[in-house]
Chains A and B, each alone.
Chain A
Amino acid sequence: MTLCGISLAIGAFVALVGFSRSFEGEWMRLYSSSGTDIAVVEKNFLNSQINESLYGKLLAVPVVEQAAPMIFNLMDLTPEVNAIAFGWLDDTYEFNSLTFESGGRFHNNKPEVILGSLLAKNLNKKVGDTLTLQGSNFTVVGIFHGGTALEAGAVILPLDQMQLLTSMQGKVSGYHVRLRPAPPGESPDLYLKRSQAAIEAALPGLNAQLASDRASNNQFVDLAHAVAWGTSAIALAMGILGIANTMAMSVFERTREIGILRAIGWKAGRVMLLIEVEAAVLGIAGGILGIGVGWGALQLLSYVPKTNVLVHTSLTPAHLLQSLVISLLSGLLAGAYPAWRGSHLSPVEALRHD
């Protein structure tokens, strides 16, 4: 039972944190596959809203080669299917990262959408079908294969149509920016920093974030990490209590055995070590089982339409190592009090224990 408890706790950690990290990784790939160097967004708000009229000012910044105004939001397409919805211009450079399986680009000012292949499969839609978004009908004009799960599960429509759906006429969520090549002799890092400063100077009050920072620090990812870590922490606390209870029972049941060890000269520290090693082994064993449970849960999530559009499920070696370290520390923490108690038993009292 204890092993089940800690393995479920570690399983929850593996699944939830793995899910949130995978989500972050997908954002990273989203930016890198489109060639975006910098994202220009509002400084503080989750639902960033910027005037579309700033587009010209942004393009006028000397370091900017291309800028793509965009809106993004999460949308419930059906009760079972979520999707990230993007609003793009029909000539944005971001199309370069997409490969069309059928059909092609949409056109500005027309009720047209393109769907990621995974989303099209989940919705059972093909080119020529109609998709209803918030009561408005859109024609599916293209099915694309994206480089990331976020793209594969996305719906993309003309920016103007997205502005109508989200009541953001004249506004965008942000701009994705491609920079001109760095001048010879200037390091990429320095060039990126200089470009950030130039854009922020041209557009006061806005934040020019490096694409890599935006991927790991955007509010969606932060929220996913916070939920994952918070839920995992609660599960781990319960798992730790389970091990602590088992070790306390074990110390109680083996009181006489501990008395024997103390009587034949084992120091308190050695008895403590013995109990802590047992707790650590329990933690590690639970961790190994939990990794299996978590991996299974992630595989399950990759088949559920509500979640498969958000992430590619994969476990990194770093995440596995972190899970094992947390299992070990959980075991040690859970065993600490029983170990202290066991090691401080009086040998005489312990030997009398029935």
Chain B
Amino acid sequence: MTEKHAAPQLEVRNLRKSYDDGRIEALRGVDLSIHAGEYIAISGASGSGKSTLLQLLGGLDVPTSGQVLFEGQPLNKIGLDDYRATQLGFIFQAFHLIPTLKAIENVQVPMLATGADASTRATRAEALLVEMGLQHRLNQFPNELSAGERQRVAIARALANNPSVLLADEPTGNLDSVNSAHVMDLLRGIQKDRGMTLVIVTHENDIAHAAPRHIRIRDGKIES
């Protein structure tokens, strides 16, 4: 459960990100606190800066100025690789599975970064895929899976190292309405059952409004 009085798990302070030698300002001084176990949706128009914010929260990129803190520590002190490997699970709109690996192998890839042994990797990957309802698709390659199945493999991969935060960038953007609803049910269930922090970037209003906390971004600033 969200504890509003506890210290935030993720915090951004006066975050700015600009590209093209400062000519494009994607974020213009964003402040945001996210507590452990929260479920937050970030919405906004295309180019509003919502994906940039998610990338900075996930340590995929570094801000032009300002700070991102995880449990009170600036990310650059924790080490971005370690942060992404141990604390975060990423889910992308385009799934980003490795096409030459089977579903079960794709789920094992993040565990290579944490040094898990082969048997632990295989057991955990299988358990996660079973949890996603993909027990019959373990040995399929991504191009043999439907879009919904691919996203469920990607969710299993995001959970591989038992992260404390799930970051999802338009997770239903490439799915039809049935699969979209299925994936959102899965994500909400995971967030609730495991007490994980879930941050979803979306442009779909119904998904955004379904989240207990909804943040709108406009022109690089938080609107509400």
Contact = CB atoms under 8 A, between A and B. Distances in A.
A266 to B, nearest CB: 5
Interface string A264-294: 1111101000000000000000000000000
A28 B171 CA distance: 74
A262 B61 CA distance: 11
A346 B61 contact: yes
Contacts of B88: 265
B113 A348 contact: no
B96 A256 contact: yes
A265 B61 contact: no
- Centre residue among A256, A261, A263, A351 by max chain B CB count within 10 A: A263
Q: How large is the interface on B (under 10, 10 to 19, 20 to 34, 35 or more residues)?
A: 20 to 34
A78 to B, nearest CB: 58
B93 to A, nearest CB: 11
B63 interface: no
Interface in B149-165: 157, 161
B60 A265 contact: no
Contact of B98 (A260, A347, A351): A260
Given A260-B98, A261-B109, A347-B60, A266 B90 contact: no
B215 interface: no
SS class, residues of chain A in contact with chain B = helix
A351 B92 contact: yes
A122 B52 CA distance: 79
Q: How large is the interface on A (under 10, 10 to 19, 20 to 34, 35 or more residues)?
A: 10 to 19
- Centre residue among A259, A260, A270 by max chain B CB count within 10 A: A260
B85 A264 contact: yes
25 contacts: A257-B98, A260-B96, A262-B81, A263-B58, A263-B84, A264-B84, A264-B90, A264-B110, A265-B84, A265-B113, A265-B114, A265-B161, A266-B81, A266-B112, A266-B113, A267-B81, A267-B85, A267-B113, A268-B81, A270-B112, A346-B61, A347-B60, A347-B61, A348-B61, A351-B60
Interface of B: 55, 58, 60-61, 81-82, 84-86, 88, 90, 92, 96-99, 109-110, 112-114, 157, 161
Return the 10 tightest CB-CB contacts between A and B, nearest first.
Answer: A265-B85, A265-B113, A265-B84, A264-B110, A267-B81, A348-B61, A347-B60, A260-B96, A266-B113, A348-B60
Interface of A: 256-257, 259-268, 270, 346-348, 351
